[in-house]
Amino acid sequence: MRKLFALLLAVVMVFALAACGGTNEEGSEPNGGGEALIKVGIINLDPSESGYREANVKNLNDTFTKENGYEATFVTAPTADKQLEAARGFITAGVKYILVSAAETTGWDEVLQEAKDAGIKVFLFDRMIECDKSLYTAAVVSDMRKEGETAVAWLESLNLDEYKILHIQGQLGSAAQIGRSDPLTEKCAADEKWTIVREGTGGDSWDPNEANKIAKAAIDAGEEFNIVYAENDGMAQGVVEALDAAGITHGVDGDVIIMGFDCNKWALEKLLAGEWNYDGQCSPFQAAEIDKMIKTLEAGKEIEGLNDKNQIISEEKGFDAKTITQTDIDTYGLG
């Protein structure tokens, strides 16, 4: 009897494991006939990471379809090792193009070289990789550093007497985190009116709860800050909850300035309501640009308009609560 239970348990476990498998792979079936489809492998981050990522994944899924002439395989994995594994899989499977949004900026040289040797063209999207520019064909990215610079410049334009900042970082080591953090930390190092009161990270999943804890810790410790610089919208929201609970006002007429990134629709609505002050845009829509470049290559032409790093930079803005309009929300809001 006991053995039977053990067996049953094992079966249940196997089923459970199969059901909760780590990566979501959706392979499309080989084309039955007609014109040859272009085989692409797309490596992205987990869509459940944030609203930004969700929009990004959806954008790619909608673009690289059979109707549009592609045979695409999607892998979404939250960590670098899983992503590298997927890339090797694509090389073995003999795809023609690989599209990557990297979890970490380093560690890709070897795999990209293998791809190059196999004649596979690589496009980077959303996030840059630190490697020789010959290893990829083109990169469609947001300039994260520019996002950071825009945000810091906006902050500076407020001309405050002192800048006491609660800095909530994203996934440490990611291009978005580095790009958004560096201009701020550099500014704080250079200008003595600018201080970072407390710094913390939302971790690999840009976790609002972690941000909430950091804010609570700062409030519990009696630290004073007048600016919250959160590197995505969810984490900014996490901080706002802590402020509300502690009876600290924020937003346009409040004591604390709230800054977020990504331009989720709901976040822009907070801006419009005056609860937040600033939201930095980061466009998740890179699929069309890549699609255009691939089609150009397939037609035997050269890609044009790349900068010296083989990049195409997405146009991006920063929104101020005082100037934002409903039209902006409808046009640029995610979700």
Partner 1 sequence: MNKKKNAASGLRQLLIPLIALGILIVFNLIRDVSFFSVEMRVNNSGNVVLAGNLISIIDTASELAIIAMGMTLVTAACGGQDISVGAVGAISGAVLVKVLQAMGGITALSVVAAFAAATAVTILFKLFNGTLVAVFRIQPMIATLILFSCGRSIAYWINGSATPQLTSPIIDSIGKTIPGIPVPTPVFAVLLVALLLVLIFKFTSLRLYTQSVGINQGAARLNGVNPTVVKLISFVILGVCVSVAALIGVSRLGQLNHKTLLVDIEMDAILAVAIGGNSLAGGKFKLIGSVMGAYIIQMLTTTLYAMNVNPVNIKAYKAIVIIIIVVAGSPVIKNALTSLFKKRRPAKAQTEGVS
Binding mask 29-68 for partner 1 (x = CB under 8 A): ------------------xxxxx-xx--------------
Handedness of CA 8, 10, 13, 18 (dihedral sign): negative
Q: Which of 242, 238, 246, 237 is nearest to 273 (CA)?
A: 237
Q: Which residue in the block uniquely carries the two structure tokens 């790619």?
A: 60
Question: Does the protein bind partner 1 through residue 164 (CB under 8 A)?
Answer: no
Query: Of the two residues 9 and 118, which places its CB atom closer to partner 1 in the complex?
Result: 9
CB 199 within 8 A of CB 172: no
Q: Which of 310, 312, 293, 311 is nearest to 302 (CA)?
A: 293
Out of 90, 120, 250, 279, the only residue in the binding site for partner 1 (CB under 8 A) is 250
Question: Does the protein bind partner 1 through residue 219 (CB under 8 A)?
Answer: yes
Q: Smallest gap, in angstroms, from Cβ of residue 4 to partner 1?
A: 10
Q: Which of 151, 145, 146, 125 is nearest to 55 (CA)?
A: 125
Question: Does the protein bind partner 1 through residue 212 (CB under 8 A)?
Answer: yes
Residue span binding partner 1 (CB under 8 A) among the ranges 29-37, 178-186, 239-247, 297-305? 239-247
Residue 139: φ, ψ to 5°: -130, 125
CB 138 within 8 A of CB 308: no
Out of 73, 101, 201, 277, the only residue in the binding site for partner 1 (CB under 8 A) is 201
Handedness of CA 178, 213, 253, 224 (dihedral sign): negative
Question: Does the protein bind partner 1 through residue 243 (CB under 8 A)?
Answer: yes
Residues of this chain that bind partner 1 (CB under 8 A): 5, 8-9, 12-13, 16-17, 19-20, 47-51, 53-54, 200-201, 205, 207-210, 212-214, 216-217, 219-222, 234, 237-238, 240-241, 243-251, 254, 264, 266, 269, 275
